[in-house]
């Protein structure tokens, strides 16, 4: 009876101590978060901020609750160890020593997880770090996989020795009930993190292949430039697997998107229509702008008997937000939603939580942190895709799966060792792990207005190339698994991107900000590996992302809807020497801030933060204010490209400027030749003007598309 009473007392005291530690830690972290307040997403007007105060309080309370629970678990390890030892050694349980033990285990286990993230996933720390990144470098310099393994195994062995020693003492003294309870508790401490973090087991067993219709799997990486593909001429070893895979399919060397922003670009690919047809002109679409006026590829394939699904991380939330019609969607909510951003919380509390939420637990209970922007998820997406494919392959329908990852998106984060592959090991500037000072829209806008002198350009390029290599390994992992399971025998595999990125070639960086140069934002890779035609084919002709949906529909023997603007590329795949005379059209996206080098007489509009609003405070969706919707379209630079020529259009306050470039003679696009080739100039201008007429009211076209002097 005395032992039972003593056991109950120890249990009650242990729970009290754990509760005090967890409450104190959560309270301190919340207070610091409020004092050093930050919030994901842009700052908003005072009246909007006031409206969401109660929601912000709810979000903080929710994050505080999860902080308390995690802190309770971590401190519980130490309190449990102390309680076990005190009973085994016949010590008197004292709250002070229990408090020290619990605080020690909370600090030790948090530090251990911090070190693990700092090495293997440093961007998850940097995006929520309130201090200079360089403060972490002395710690990072001491880290290696081997040292982390030694540290982890040392702690595990020490914990095991304490457990075994205590259990043996208890058994010898006949305290079997306490010993059994201790085993149960120890198993709980082991099982909970294993269940939260361990990935699902993926079978390599053969999977059934639908013999009637081929499956389709699209594997895309946000912001992947075509010129980073080794098979397209890049000197660094960024894509060895994609290069080898291109020997099994059709590689399009000059494949262009019409707008280098994720939402409109994905909409173009999956509807086969230009942005002015499908209506998605930027990433900031209101609730009533989510549905398409044209049929989408997922809808058409669903009607043809396919099961459609999309899997993505933070970069592909538009696949779920917009009305594409996927039957299954595994991804985040809209990244431009104030409620979603508020739930992500201030940096300090977010930093602690994200140490423990990049796993199954985080995805289930705190998805807004699991899908936090700037944290790569390639390995998790590959596992999720395999699970989904296994499920779909065992069904009776063929399937269409879109896998879209942020692997190569700004700020170019990647997992270990990718961020070290091409970078100078001696580099210790602020962009060691990711492109720095891009934590908030305000910082991004400030950096967007600066030229290359404000950046560590070579380090940023090195980070980007490492991120490209990480995507290449993702493709290798997934396609290799398809080969092993036999699914690749009846699956069309497509490797693509939504757009590229400018890396200071014309003094600026970002996506879709310029039509000058060789269009690194507009030109993206496209590789189609078709089991019905597995041979190396190179298509050098100009092709467009608007052509992808019609190409797939024709390949499947389905009718191409009359609403589609694109054309099937099958003739090129059958005979690369064919000439379909396709012209690629392109327009710049919504500028975050005035671009370096933009003339003062160029049509302009306020910065992004001033043109956004939240029309429906119940949903929290951010969108462009109605009074700015026309001007953000009218102020866009445009271009048309063919195999040999490129014409750019710059909208000025007094009319339009047009420049013509000879791509064969001047691939850098820095010499206007419109005077030397008036007939080509007139033809290209007419094609571009005809395309642009769909954007505006006729009177605006007549006034602004007139030709002025070209310089």
If pLDDT is split at 50, 70 and 90, which confidence band does 700 have? very low
Report how far residue 694's alpha carbon sits from residue 692's, in angstroms, rounded to the nearest whole number: 5
Residue 108's pLDDT is: 97
183 and 226: one domain?
Answer: no
Query: Average pLDDT for residues 606-617, to the nearest whole number?
Result: 87
Report how far residue 704's alpha carbon sits from residue 636's, in angstroms, rounded to the nearest whole number: 12
Domain of residue 223, residue span: 215-335+373-587
End-to-end CA distance of the chain: 97
Query: Average pLDDT for residues 172-176, to the nearest whole number?
Result: 86
The mean-pLDDT minimum among 363-367, 532-536, 625-629 falls in: 532-536
Note the Cα 623 to chain centre separation in Å: 20
544 and 657: one domain?
Answer: no
Name the more confident of 59 and 8: 59
| Count of domains observed in the chain | 3
Query: Average pLDDT for residues 288-307, to the nearest whole number?
Result: 96
Of 533, 289, 306, nearest in space to 402 by CA = 306
Residue 379 within any structural domain of the chain? yes
Residue 493's pLDDT is: 98
618 and 673: one domain?
Answer: yes
Contact (Cβ atoms closer than 8 angstroms) between residue 238 and residue 225: no
Is the pLDDT assigned to residue 84 strictly greater than 80?
yes
Note the Cα 248 to chain centre separation in Å: 28
Residue 52 DSSP one-character state: T
Residue 358 within any structural domain of the chain? no
CB within 8 Å of 362: residues ≥ 6 apart: 354, 356, 369, 370
98 and 188: one domain?
Answer: yes
- C-alpha distances in Å from residue 182, one per residue of 83, 168, 179, 200: 10, 12, 5, 28
561 and 653: one domain?
Answer: no
Beta strands in 383-437 (DSSP E): 399-405
Lookup: tokens for 538 = 């190179």
565 and 431: one domain?
Answer: yes
Report how far residue 24's alpha carbon sits from residue 66's, in angstroms, rounded to the nearest whole number: 14
Q: What is the CATH number of the domain that holds 674?
A: 3.30.1120.10
Q: What is the CATH number of the domain that holds 463?
A: 3.40.720.10
Lookup: tokens for 554 = 């024709």
Residue 624 within any structural domain of the chain? yes
511 and 646: one domain?
Answer: no
109 and 235: one domain?
Answer: no
304 and 427: one domain?
Answer: yes
Report how far residue 73's alpha carbon sits from residue 98's, in angstroms, rounded to the nearest whole number: 14
Strand pairing category for 328-330 and 307-312: parallel
The 10s digit of each residue's pLDDT in 255-279 is 999 999 999 999 999 999 999 999 9
Of 366, 338, 364, nearest in space to 352 by CA = 366
Of 248, 205, 180, 683, nearest in space to 491 by CA = 248
Is the pLDDT assigned to residue 66 strictly greater than 50?
yes
Is the pLDDT assigned to residue 391 strictly greater than 70?
yes
Residue 71 within any structural domain of the chain? yes
Residue 534's pLDDT is: 82
Residue 368 within any structural domain of the chain? no
Query: Average pLDDT for residues 136-164, to the nearest whole number?
Result: 95
Annotate 532-564 with b (16+ C-beta within 10 A) or e (fewer): ebeeebebebbbbbbbbbbbbbbbbebebeeeb
Number of Cβ within 10 Å of residue 687's Cβ equals 15
The 10s digit of each residue's pLDDT in 430-451 is 999 999 876 666 666 666 666 6
- Report which secondary-structure segment, H or E, holds 245: helix 240-245
Lookup: tokens for 406 = 């942020």
Beta bridge pairs of residue 500: none
In the chain, what percentage of residues exceed pLDDT 90?
A: 71
Residue 710's pLDDT is: 46
| pLDDT mean across residues, the chain | 91
Beta bridge pairs of residue 523: 256
Residue 521's pLDDT is: 95
Q: Where are the alpha helices (DSSP H) in 89-175?
A: 95-120, 123-126, 137-141, 145-172
Three-state DSSP at 532 gives: coil
CB within 8 Å of 479: residues ≥ 6 apart: 219, 241, 245, 488, 493, 529
Lookup: tokens for 135 = 């403060």
Residue 219's pLDDT is: 98
CA geometry: angle 252, 256, 257, nearest 5 deg: 135
If pLDDT is split at 50, 70 and 90, which confidence band does 3 have? low
Is the pLDDT assigned to residue 607 strictly greater than 90?
no
Which string of DSSP letters, residue by residue, matches 475-502? HHHHHHHHHHHTGGGGEEEEEE-S---E
Number of Cβ within 10 Å of residue 395's Cβ equals 11
The 10s digit of each residue's pLDDT in 517-546 is 889 999 999 999 999 888 899 999 999 999
Q: Highest mean pLDDT range out of 164-178, 434-448, 479-493?
A: 479-493
Residue 477's pLDDT is: 97
Of 185, 228, 255, nearest in space to 548 by CA = 255
287 and 188: one domain?
Answer: no
Strand pairing category for 584-587 and 509-510: unpaired
The 10s digit of each residue's pLDDT in 557-606 is 999 999 999 999 999 999 999 999 999 999 999 887 666 667 888 998 88
Query: Average pLDDT for residues 655-678, to the nearest whole number?
Result: 91
Residue 41's pLDDT is: 66
Backbone angles phi, psi at 366, to 5 degrees: -135, 65
Residue 246's pLDDT is: 97
319 and 261: one domain?
Answer: yes
Contact (Cβ atoms closer than 8 angstroms) between residue 333 and residue 316: no
460 and 501: one domain?
Answer: yes
Is the pLDDT assigned to residue 355 strictly greater than 80?
yes
């Amino acid at each position: 009876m005395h032992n039972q009473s003593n056991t109950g007392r120890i249990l009650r005291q242990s729970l009290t101590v754990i509760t005090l530690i967890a409450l104190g830690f959560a309270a301190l972290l919340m207070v610091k978060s409020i004092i050093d307040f930050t919030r994901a997403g842009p700052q908003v007007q005072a009246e909007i901020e006031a409206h969401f105060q109660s929601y912000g309080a709810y979000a903080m309370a929710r994050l505080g609750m999860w902080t308390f629970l995690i802190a309770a678990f971590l401190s519980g390890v130490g309190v449990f160890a102390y309680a076990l030892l005190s009973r085994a050694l016949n010590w008197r349980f004292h709250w002070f020593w229990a408090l020290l033990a619990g605080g020690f285990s909370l600090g030790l286990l948090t530090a251990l997880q911090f070190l693990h993230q700092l090495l293997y996933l440093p961007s998850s720390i940097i995006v929520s770090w309130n201090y200079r990144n360089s403060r972490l470098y002395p710690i990072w310099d001491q880290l290696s996989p081997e040292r982390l393994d030694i540290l982890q195994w040392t702690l595990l062995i020490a914990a095991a020795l304490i457990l075994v020693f205590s259990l043996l003492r208890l058994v010898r003294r006949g305290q079997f009930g306490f010993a059994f309870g201790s085993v149960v508790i120890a198993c709980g401490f082991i099982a909970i993190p294993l269940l939260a973090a361990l990935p699902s087991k993926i079978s390599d067993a053969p999977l059934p292949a639908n013999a009637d219709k081929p499956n389709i799997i699209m594997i895309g990486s946000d912001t992947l430039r075509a010129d980073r593909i080794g098979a397209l001429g890049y000197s660094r070893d960024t894509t060895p697997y994609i290069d080898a895979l291109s020997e099994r399919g059709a590689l399009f060397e000059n494949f262009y998107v019409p707008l280098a922003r994720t939402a409109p670009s994905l909409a173009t690919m999956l509807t086969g229509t230009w942005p002015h047809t499908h209506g998605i002109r930027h990433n900031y679409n209101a609730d009533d702008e989510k549905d398409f006026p044209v049929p989408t590829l997922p809808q058409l394939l669903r009607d043809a008997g396919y099961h459609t699904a999309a899997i993505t991380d933070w970069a592909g939330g538009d696949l779920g937000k917009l009305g594409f019609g996927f039957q299954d969607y595994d991804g985040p909510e809209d990244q431009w939603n104030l409620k979603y951003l508020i739930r992500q919380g201030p940096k300090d509390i977010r930093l602690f939580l994200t140490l423990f939420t990049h796993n199954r637990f985080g995805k289930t209970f705190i998805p807004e942190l699991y899908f936090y922007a700037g944290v790569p998820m390639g390995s998790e997406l590959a596992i999720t895709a395999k699970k989904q494919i296994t499920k779909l392959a065992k069904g009776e329908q063929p399937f269409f799966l879109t896998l879209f990852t942020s692997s190569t998106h700004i700020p170019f984060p990647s997992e270990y060792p990718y961020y070290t592959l091409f970078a100078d090991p001696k580099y210790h500037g602020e962009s060691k792990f990711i492109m720095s000072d891009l934590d908030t829209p305000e910082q991004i806008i400030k950096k967007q207005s600066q030229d290359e002198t404000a950046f560590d350009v070579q380090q940023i390029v090195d980070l980007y190339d490492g991120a490209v290599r990480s995507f290449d390994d993702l493709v290798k992992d997934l396609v290799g698994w398809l080969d092993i399971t036999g699914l690749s025998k009846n699956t069309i595999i497509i490797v693509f991107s939504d757009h590229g990125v400018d890396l200071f070639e014309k003094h600026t960086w970002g996506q879709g900000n310029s039509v000058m140069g060789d269009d690194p934002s507009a030109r993206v890779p496209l590789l189609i590996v078709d089991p019905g035609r597995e041979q190396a084919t190179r298509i050098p002709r100009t092709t467009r992302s608007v052509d992808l949906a019609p190409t797939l529909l024709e390949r499947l023997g389905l009718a191409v809807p009359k609403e589609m603007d694109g054309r099937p590329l099958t003739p090129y795949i059958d005979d690369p020497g064919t000439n379909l005379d396709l012209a690629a059209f392109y327009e710049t996206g919504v500028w975050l801030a005035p671009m370096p080098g933009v003339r003062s007489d160029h049509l302009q509009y306020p910065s992004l933060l001033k043109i956004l609003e939240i029309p429906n405070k119940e949903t929290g969706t951010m969108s462009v204010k109605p009074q700015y919707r026309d001007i953000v379209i009218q102020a866009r630079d445009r271009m048309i490209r063919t195999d040999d020529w490129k014409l750019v259009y710059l909208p000025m306050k007094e009319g339009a400027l047009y420049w013509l470039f000879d791509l064969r003679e001047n691939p850098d696009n820095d010499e206007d030749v419109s005077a030397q080739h008036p007939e080509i100039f007139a033809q290209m201008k007419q094609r571009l003007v005809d395309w642009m007429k769909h954007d505006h009211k006729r009177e605006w076209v007549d006034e602004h598309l007139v030709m002025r002097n070209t310089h």
